[in-house]
Structure 1
Amino acid sequence: MAVLRRNLTAYGFLCGALFCFAVFAWYPMIREFVLSFQETNLISPPTWVGLDNFGYAVNDPAFGGAWLATLEFTVLALVFGYVVPFAVALVLNELRHARAYLRFVVYLPVMLPPIVAVLLFRWFFDPGPGLFNQILDVLHLPGLAWLDSPTTALFSLVIVSTWMNMGTATLIYLAALQNIPSELYEAAELDGAGLWKRVRHVTIPQTRLILLLLLMLQIVATMQVFIEPYMLTGGGPEGSTVTVAYLMFQYAFTYQNYGAAGALGMMLMIVLLVFAAFQLRLTREDTR
């Protein structure tokens, strides 16, 4: 009887989780799939238009630029948002004092609401009294129009995204580093391996699966970037920060073209599914 009661409790929690996934994840995806083949204003009955919504999105002059901006953002975010947390985790792992305090400091930006972080960096990027230009002025360097120039706007968004999200990745890396047997490092030191060789031949191989997993999660997350361009640049200047997710928002809530928004969302989902399948295949082969 106790076993049955315990199983019923477990199935109860499982049903609750499945219900939440069904309502808030699976149903919206199915609804988006159906919507991508329809023309509707969400009031009158929808009409089927086949692939017309996909054709509208592909022929939109902003389509190519949105994908290019998304790919550029993803590459830059990987350079900083993927490498920097790993480097910070390596430093924290070597510390013997104040480790808990520094972990809290690193994770603190994750606990801030995104709007707070965005407003903070809006002041940092201010071309007048902003913190970053004040620092450049102290260094006798010319100030930058961080969010007002097509050459620096996207990079500025990467800085914000990295600062907002690096805490979670850092703690995951740190947990993986602390599970590496100390004997491996001791053996490497006895063989005369320096810091870089220990990282290359011990740390990276021992954390390979975590690195691959976070690489996949990082790419999936950054290709859906929306908050930063929406709150900081509004897609400008000159459309240089219009990402795929931001263009979907414009289709749906600016042009009231929900079908095109659904079609563009399906394209993005297919791209991410193909990448995720490829990444999981590499991970599976790596574990054999």
Structure 2
Amino acid sequence: MAAPSLTPSTADPARPVPPRTAGPPPPRGRFARSLRRNLTAHGFLIGAVICFAVFSWYPMIREFGLAFQKTGHGGTSWVGLDNLETVYHDPAFWQAWRNTLLFTALALLLGFAVPFVTAIVINEFRHGQGFLRLLVYLPVMLPPVASVLLFKYLYDPGYGLLNELLGFLHLPEQQWLQDPGLSMLSVVIASTWMNMGGATLIYLAALQGIPGELYEAAELDGAGLLGKIWHVTIPQTRLVLSLMLLMQVIATMQVFVEPFLLTGGAGPEGSTTTVVYLIYQYAFNFNNYGAAAALGLLLLVLLAGFSAAYVRLSRAGDE
């Protein structure tokens, strides 16, 4: 009779056998299942990527090449920096940059401050905020041509509402769009009214996210209205204000619609000629697409450099 073994048998029926677990599925199988589950989402994503590639990325890439080419007689030829030299020596080049910078400065004084103040006023109302938001955003929903026709009526030197109001106050009438000293300011006022709705709603949403306890604490410390705005409202909305400042500078540097429709683009003595309008002239009036692309490339580099510097300074300030 054999002696009992001290080592348990591997075939002992009393010992439970652990279940066999399947290994992870191969990567290709996981990707296929994920693709099937998210087929609709991937379809929308691919459509968006194609639209961006065709209508945004390709024109930008094409502009880089076109800026160093000359088009004519159905063909193109490389000309190096000749287009940049042509643009640089154009007498309207520096005037367009001065007008664009002037428009940006005036738009920041009005278009950056007015929506923020309007949002603060609307936020103080306890009732009717929905109606006020609609009223402020209504100009954004109007077609630009309709808004421009409205302001052309307001600015008309003969029967315009603004001159009628000045006459009622016994003040001298003004040539709003015909005077080189007033034309740019008139365009800025119209642009501010046409575009302030979106910024106002963004500021209003930021204001409504500020805790009321901060205002109560500031009031207990003796802060008045301006003190609460300076010590509570502005610090709490600093990130939104920074982002809107960057977006507004980029948008105003590319202004085209308002001066083009109000003053025909150039304005009296070229007072409303902007960089984008000069690009339009090169491309569609002079048929010089290379010079238009070169000027557009200069504007792109300037705005990209400003954005990079602004983001870097903002990060340094946060640290």
Question: What TM bracket, shorter-length normalisation?
Answer: over 0.9
> Following TM superposition, by how much is the alpha carbon of 1:23 offset from its aligned partner in structure 2, in angstroms?
1.1
The 10-residue stretch of structure 1 (227-236 or 165-174) with the greater mean CA deviation from structure 2: 227-236
| Equivalent residues of 2:67, 2:294 under 8 A apart | yes
The alignment's C-alpha RMSD in Å is 1.4
Aligned to 2:130: 100
The 10-residue stretch of structure 1 (56-65 or 5-14) with the greater mean CA deviation from structure 2: 5-14
| Equivalent residues of 1:225, 1:243 under 8 A apart | yes
| Separation in structure 1 between the aligned mates of residue 80 and residue 93 of structure 2, nearest angstrom | 19
2:231 to 201, 204, 221: 201
Is 1:274 the counterpart of 2:305 in the alignment? yes
Is 1:244 the counterpart of 2:254 in the alignment? no
* Counterpart mapping for 1:182-261 below 5 A: 182-234=212-264, 235-261=266-292
| Separation in structure 2 between the aligned mates of residue 102 and residue 85 of structure 1, nearest angstrom | 13
> Following TM superposition, by how much is the alpha carbon of 1:15 offset from its aligned partner in structure 2, in angstroms?
1.7
| Equivalent residues of 1:157, 1:229 under 8 A apart | yes
| Equivalent residues of 2:166, 2:173 under 8 A apart | yes
The 10-residue stretch of structure 1 (204-213 or 16-25) with the greater mean CA deviation from structure 2: 16-25
> Following TM superposition, by how much is the alpha carbon of 1:7 offset from its aligned partner in structure 2, in angstroms?
3.3
The 10-residue stretch of structure 1 (156-165 or 2-11) with the greater mean CA deviation from structure 2: 2-11
Describe the superposition over 1:248-271 as per-residue Cα deviations: whole angstroms up to 9, x where unpaired.
011111111111000000000111
> Following TM superposition, by how much is the alpha carbon of 1:19 offset from its aligned partner in structure 2, in angstroms?
1.3
| Separation in structure 2 between the aligned mates of residue 220 and residue 35 of structure 1, nearest angstrom | 23
Is 1:34 the counterpart of 2:65 in the alignment? yes
1:173 to 203, 211, 214: 203
Aligned to 2:83: 53
Aligned to 2:182: 152
| Equivalent residues of 1:209, 1:283 under 8 A apart | no
Which letter maps to 2:58?
Y
> Following TM superposition, by how much is the alpha carbon of 1:5 offset from its aligned partner in structure 2, in angstroms?
4.4
Mark the CA change 1:177 to 1:5 in structure 2 (over 3 Å): closer, same or farther.
farther
Is 1:85 the counterpart of 2:115 in the alignment? yes
The 10-residue stretch of structure 1 (102-111 or 274-283) with the greater mean CA deviation from structure 2: 274-283
| Equivalent residues of 1:38, 1:48 under 8 A apart | yes
Mark the structure with the bigger radius of gyration: 2
The 10-residue stretch of structure 1 (6-15 or 128-137) with the greater mean CA deviation from structure 2: 6-15
Which letter maps to 1:92?
I
Same amino acid, percent of matched pairs: 61
Which letter maps to 2:305?
V
The 10-residue stretch of structure 1 (227-236 or 157-166) with the greater mean CA deviation from structure 2: 227-236
| Separation in structure 1 between the aligned mates of residue 258 and residue 280 of structure 2, nearest angstrom | 13
Aligned to 1:11: 42
Mark the CA change 1:40 to 1:212 in structure 2 (over 3 Å): closer, same or farther.
same
> Following TM superposition, by how much is the alpha carbon of 1:287 offset from its aligned partner in structure 2, in angstroms?
4.1
Describe the superposition over 1:94-150 as per-residue Cα deviations: whole angstroms up to 9, x where unpaired.
111211101100000000111111111111110010011111111111111000010
The 10-residue stretch of structure 1 (171-180 or 16-25) with the greater mean CA deviation from structure 2: 16-25
Describe the superposition over 1:37-83 as per-residue Cα deviations: whole angstroms up to 9, x where unpaired.
11114x61101100000000000000000000000000000000000
| Separation in structure 2 between the aligned mates of residue 107 and residue 145 of structure 1, nearest angstrom | 29
> Following TM superposition, by how much is the alpha carbon of 1:278 offset from its aligned partner in structure 2, in angstroms?
1.3
| Separation in structure 1 between the aligned mates of residue 84 and residue 96 of structure 2, nearest angstrom | 15
| Separation in structure 1 between the aligned mates of residue 251 and residue 181 of structure 2, nearest angstrom | 23
| Equivalent residues of 1:136, 1:142 under 8 A apart | yes
> Following TM superposition, by how much is the alpha carbon of 1:284 offset from its aligned partner in structure 2, in angstroms?
2.9
The number of residues matched between the two structures is: 287
Describe the superposition over 1:214-250 as per-residue Cα deviations: whole angstroms up to 9, x where unpaired.
0010000000011111111121200111000000011
| Separation in structure 2 between the aligned mates of residue 198 and residue 257 of structure 1, nearest angstrom | 55
Aligned to 2:296: 265
TM-score by length of 1: 0.96
Q: Secondary structure at the match of 1:238?
A: helix
| Separation in structure 2 between the aligned mates of residue 93 and residue 5 of structure 1, nearest angstrom | 47
> Following TM superposition, by how much is the alpha carbon of 1:12 offset from its aligned partner in structure 2, in angstroms?
2.4
Flag the structure with more relative contact order, 1 or 2, with Cα contacts below 8 A and sequence separation at least 6: 1
Mark the CA change 1:72 to 1:7 in structure 2 (over 3 Å): closer, same or farther.
same
| Separation in structure 2 between the aligned mates of residue 134 and residue 52 of structure 1, nearest angstrom | 51
Which letter maps to 1:134?
E
| Equivalent residues of 2:35, 2:42 under 8 A apart | no
Aligned to 1:20: 51
The 10-residue stretch of structure 1 (4-13 or 69-78) with the greater mean CA deviation from structure 2: 4-13
